[in-house]
Structures are given as structure tokens and as C-alpha cells.
Amino acid sequence: MTPSKRINNFFRQYVASLRREQYLKINLVFAGVIVLVIAYSGIFSPDTNNYPVVCIHQKLTGQPCFSCGLSHSFSLIVRGRLAEAYEWNKFGLQVFLFFFFQLILRIAFSLFFIKYPDNRRQLIWTDIIGSVLLFLITFFPFLKNLVVSL
């Protein structure tokens, strides 16, 4: 079988699985949201400060919140300006890497889900536990700040 036929068969199998497997639908939605976040970071420039989403907390109180500067930070990371990104939000790279790795995991777990149907239950539990742990590690400073501010 030629490589193009193998790829074509894989995509047919993926689309067929997508119609009946909720796990694949969820992964596709998460991957889509992550791609949109990265695209948003690439489209809006930190140099022109033309972000359509503004911090509501800062607008209401005049004080920056713990996540202020993340959009700027993400935009700078996409452009490879890591030192400047850190200045905007010291957790920006950490959060960006979380989303980037989640995108890779969504793709990898979806491929494994299709390729190894006998291991789907274990795969889903591994995905859930790993993603929750990664989330808690990444967002611990934000959660800690939230608890302290209450």
C-alpha cells in the first residue's frame, strides 16, 4: 500500500471514529481551542497593543491581577521574545507550554485511541490523570494566589 493510500485510509478511519467516539470529539474541541489561543497570540501584536480582550479586573479596580499580561506574554513567546514575555507575566511561558503540550497530547492520544482500540480505557484514564496533574502543576501559583486573596 502506498503512503498516500495509508494516510487516506487513516483519515477515513479517523472521521468514522470521530462520528461515534466522544473522546475524539472532546480532543478535537480542545485542540481547536488551543490552536485558536496560539493564533490569537500570533495575530495580535504586543508592539501595537491591539488586543480585543482586556482584563476586566484591571478595568474595574485599576489594579493588575495575577494573570495580567498573559496575552502580551503569549504574543511575545510566539515571536521568540522570551525575556520580554517574562517581564509581562512571569508565568506566561509556563502557561504557554502547558497549552502547547496539551495540543501535542490531544493529537497523540487521539492517534493512540484509534490505533490501539483494546487499550482505550487505560488511555483515557492516563490522559485524565496526566492532564489534571499537569494543570495543577502549571496553575498552582494562580490557584495559590486565588486562595490567598479570598
How many domains would you assign to the chain? Answer: 1
Residue 48 cell numbers, joined: 501595537
**Does residue 1 form part of some domain?**
no
pLDDT at 148: 76
Q: What is the pLDDT of residue 18?
A: 64
Largest CA distance in the chain: 64
Whole-angstrom distance, CA of residue 116 vs CA of residue 125: 14
Does residue 4 lie in a domain region? no
Report pLDDT for 128. 95
Task: Please check whether residue 95 lies inside any domain of the structure.
Answer: yes
29 contact partners, CB below 8 Å, separation of at least 6 = none
- The grid coordinates of residue 92 equal 506566561
- Please tell me the predicted confidence (pLDDT) of residue 58: 76
3 lies in a domain? no
Q: Which three cell numbers stand for residue 16?
A: 468514522
Low-confidence spans in the chain with pLDDT less than 50: none
